[in-house]
A and B are shown apart, each in its own frame.
Chain A
Amino acid sequence: MTRPIIFAAAAFAAVLLAGCQSTPTEQAAAPVEDRAAASAAGSTSGATTSGAGSAGVSGAAQGQQRAAGAGGNPLKDPASPLSKRSVYFEFDSFTVMDQYKPLVEAHGRYLAQNRNAKLAIQGHADERGSREYNIALGQKRADSVKRMMLLLGAQESQIEAVSFGEEKPKNPGHDESSWAENRRVDLVYAGE
Chain B
Amino acid sequence: MSPRSRRPFLLLFAALLAVPFAPARAQLTIEIVGGAGTAIPIAVVPFEGESNFPLGISGIVAADLARSGLFRSVDTGGVSPRPFRAEDVRSDVWRGRGADAVVVGSMRPRADGRVDVAYALVDVVRGGTLASTHFTVAQAQFRATAHRIADEIYAKLTGDAGVFSTRIAYVAKQGARYQLVVADADGADPQTIVSTDEPILSPRWSPDGNRIAYVSLEQKKPIVYVQNLATGARTAIAAFRGSNSAPAWSPDGRQLAVTLSRDGGSQLFLMNADGTGVRRVMTSPGADTEASFTPDGKALLFTSDRGGSPQIYRVGVDGGGVERITFEGSYNVSPRPLPDGKGMVYVRRDGNRYQVAIMDFATRQTQVLTAGPLDESPSVAPNGKMVLYASETGGRGILNAVSADGRVKQRIVAPSADVREPAWGPLPK
A interface vs B, CB < 8 Å? Answer: 19, 41-42, 44-56, 58-59, 61, 120, 122, 127-133, 135-140, 143, 160-165, 167-168, 174
Contact = CB atoms under 8 A, between A and B. Distances in A.
B349 to A, nearest CB: 7
Contacts of B395: 174
Contacts, number: 166
10 contacts: A51-B228, A51-B232, A55-B22, A130-B310, A130-B376, A132-B245, A133-B333, A136-B305, A143-B265, A174-B392
B264 interface: yes
Interface in B166-184: 167, 176, 182
B118 interface: no
Q: Which of B233, B261, B305 has the most CB of A within 10 A?
A: B261
Interface stretch (B50-58, B123-131, B188-196, B399-407): B188-196
A127 B420 CA distance: 12
A-B pairs, 7 with minimum CB distance: A47-B196, A167-B199, A51-B232, A162-B221, A45-B197, A136-B266, A132-B290
A49 B234 contact: yes
A83 B261 CA distance: 27
B370 to A, nearest CB: 14
B242 A161 contact: yes
Nearest to A163: B243
Given A48-B195, A129-B331, A131-B421, A53 B349 contact: no
Contact of B191 (A56, A133, A137, A164): A56
A56 B221 CA distance: 25
B410 interface: no
Contacts of B192: 50, 56, 58
Nearest to A188: B220
B374 interface: yes
Contacts of A140: 265-266, 287
Interface string B14-56: 0000000111010000000000000000000000000000000
Contact of A130 (B218, B230, B303): B303
A160 B229 contact: no
Q: Which of A143, A162, A168 has the most CB of B within 10 A?
A: A162
B287 A160 contact: no
B191 A132 contact: no
A48 B177 CA distance: 11
Contact of A167 (B201, B374, B376, B392): B201
Contacts of A41: 220
A163 B222 contact: yes
A162 B333 CA distance: 21
Contact of A164 (B23, B217, B303): B217
Contacts of A46: 196-197, 218
Q: Which of B167, B197, B349 has the most CB of A within 10 A?
A: B197
B138 to A, nearest CB: 15
A54 B196 contact: no
A167 B217 contact: yes
Interface in B203-219: 215-219
Contacts of B354: 128-129
Nearest to A56: B192
B243 A135 contact: yes
A137 B222 contact: no
Given A131-B421, A136-B287, 18 more contacts: A45-B196, A45-B198, A49-B194, A49-B227, A51-B232, A52-B167, A56-B193, A130-B303, A131-B377, A131-B420, A132-B202, A133-B290, A135-B266, A136-B288, A160-B242, A162-B221, A167-B201, A174-B392
B231 interface: yes
A15 B359 CA distance: 49
Given A51-B232, A132-B201, A133-B290, A162 B222 contact: yes
A93 to B, nearest CB: 12
Contacts of A49: 193-195, 227, 232-234
A174 B216 CA distance: 24
A51 B182 CA distance: 10
Contacts of B265: 139-140, 143
B334 interface: yes
A61 to B, nearest CB: 4
B217 A132 contact: no
Contacts of B97: none
A131 B376 CA distance: 8
Contact of B334 (A45, A130, A138): A130
A140 B193 CA distance: 32
Interface string B388-429: 000010010000000000000000000000001100000000
A138 B349 CA distance: 19
B347 interface: yes
B246 interface: yes
Contact of A48 (B194, B264, B334, B421): B194
Interface string B349-369: 100001000000000000000
A52 B196 contact: no
Contacts of B376: 129-131
Nearest to B330: A92
B191 A54 contact: yes
A120 B220 contact: yes
Contacts of A19: 176
Nearest to A130: B333
B242 A52 contact: no
Nearest to B230: A51
Nearest to B199: A167
Contacts of A128: 354, 374
